[in-house]
Amino acid sequence: MPVVANAVYVGGTKRINPETLDQTFEIMRESGGMGWIGLYRPQREEIHAVEAEFGLHPLAVEDATNGHQRAKLERYGDTLFLVLRPARYLDVEEKVEFGELHLFVGHDFVVTIRHAESPDLGIVRRRLEGDPALLGAGPQAVLYALLDQVVDEYEPVVRGLENDVDEIEDELFGGAPDVSRRIYELHREVIEFQRATQPLQAMMDALLRGSDKYQIDSELGRNLRDVQDHVIRVVERVNTFRALLQNALTVQSTLVAQRQNEEMTRLMETSLRQGEEVKRISSWAAILFAPTLIASIYGMNFDVMPELHWTLGYPFALVLMVGMGSGLYWAFKRNDWL
């Protein structure tokens, strides 16, 4: 059994750390205390003892053992089943790492099942054990403390994402080559963070609506409302990040299109300049080709050429060369090829 923590509390004070779950169940029955059992990635058969003792619903147990669940709150009889998605910001990688925490909360027990390293539930235990008055409120106090810890750990994530968004805004107009990829990756992280935090609003509303029905202590109710306020602030910030990144994607697309248009304009201008050069070169080549053609014809030295022994043949050839060259020059000049 992957039990990482196991204790029985009576009147807000730790009674004992049983060595086995059977001892935990026995001490709970004898003392009327609250059992708090922490499990880490258990298999279905490994959680069978807890399921049988506390009458956990098979569907909830299946969700808790399989993992990969959305954040949610469900009630099975007198037992609450919650799925929380804790998160932490990794400064070196500049990315958000998400975990998964499942809670079963009954009238005299709390079972926590972690599927990731975060959050550190030892912090929550030490906090509650140092405040017997709060812990004396029972499983609802543990539920509050766990929610408070998860939501508090969202704050560094919000700051990290805010810093990333600020960096993207700086890079957006700086022409960074990989800014589009970073925007998409950060947008995906923000959406995942939104999926983790947004359901908490409805979950907190449901818990507070049931505070009278399930006789939650008034002070504990105020603490839950404080957590609710933190959740609302986090959700609002995450919604703002998503809107900013969507705008950044739009701006980036516009900038890319603008740069492409500018590049196309430069290519067209270059092509036009090259076309002008080609026309000039072609024009001069045609002008030079005319006298070359005439000289080539009269340079063949055939005996039977009629102009070969003509006295005016040489001047005629020169005049013909100049005339054809001048005519071509005038024609090309008129058509702006020269």
Q: What does the pLDDT look like over 261-272, one tens digit per residue?
A: 888 888 888 888
- pLDDT of 1: 52
- Give the pLDDT band (50/70/90) at residue 214: low
Please state, in angstroms and rounded to a whole number, the distance separating the CA atoms of residues 107 and 29. Answer: 13
Name which residue leads in pLDDT, 249 or 240.
Answer: 240
- Taking 80 as the threshold, does the pLDDT of residue 217 lie above it? no
- pLDDT of 209: 86
* Token pair 């968004």: residue: 165
Span 126-147, average pLDDT: 92
- Taking 80 as the threshold, does the pLDDT of residue 298 lie above it? no
Mean pLDDT over the full length of the chain? 87
Question: Strand pairing partners for 102?
Answer: 83, 113
- H or E stretch including 244? helix 218-298
- pLDDT of 215: 67
- pLDDT of 249: 86
- pLDDT of 160: 95
Name which residue leads in pLDDT, 139 or 315.
Answer: 139
Burial class (CB in 10 A: 0-12, 13-18, 19+), 268: exposed
- pLDDT of 213: 66
- Taking 90 as the threshold, does the pLDDT of residue 119 lie above it? no
Please state, in angstroms and rounded to a whole number, the distance separating the CA atoms of residues 211 and 27. Answer: 28
- pLDDT of 18: 86
- Give the pLDDT band (50/70/90) at residue 80: very high
- pLDDT of 97: 92
Dihedrals phi, psi of 31, to nearest 5 degrees: -95, -15
- Taking 90 as the threshold, does the pLDDT of residue 257 lie above it? no
- pLDDT of 159: 94
- Taking 90 as the threshold, does the pLDDT of residue 254 lie above it? no
Dihedrals phi, psi of 77, to nearest 5 degrees: 65, -120
Span 96-120, average pLDDT: 90
Assigned token pair, 122: 């030892």
- Give the pLDDT band (50/70/90) at residue 4: confident
Name which residue leads in pLDDT, 109 or 257.
Answer: 109
Buried b (16+ CB within 10 A) or exposed e, 313-333: eeeebeeebeebbeebbeebe
Buried b (16+ CB within 10 A) or exposed e, 95-134: ebebbbbbbbbbebbbbbbbbbebbebeebbeebeeeeeb
Q: What is the CB-side half-sphere exposure of residue 87 using CA atoms within 13 A?
A: 27
Determine which of 185-199, 279-293, 294-308, 319-333 has the lowest per-residue pLDDT on average: 294-308
Q: Taking the model in full, what pTM does it have?
A: 0.77
Residue type (1 letter), 184: Y
Nearest CA to 114 out of 169, 69, 164, 153 is that of 69
Span 193-211, average pLDDT: 91
- Give the pLDDT band (50/70/90) at residue 19: confident
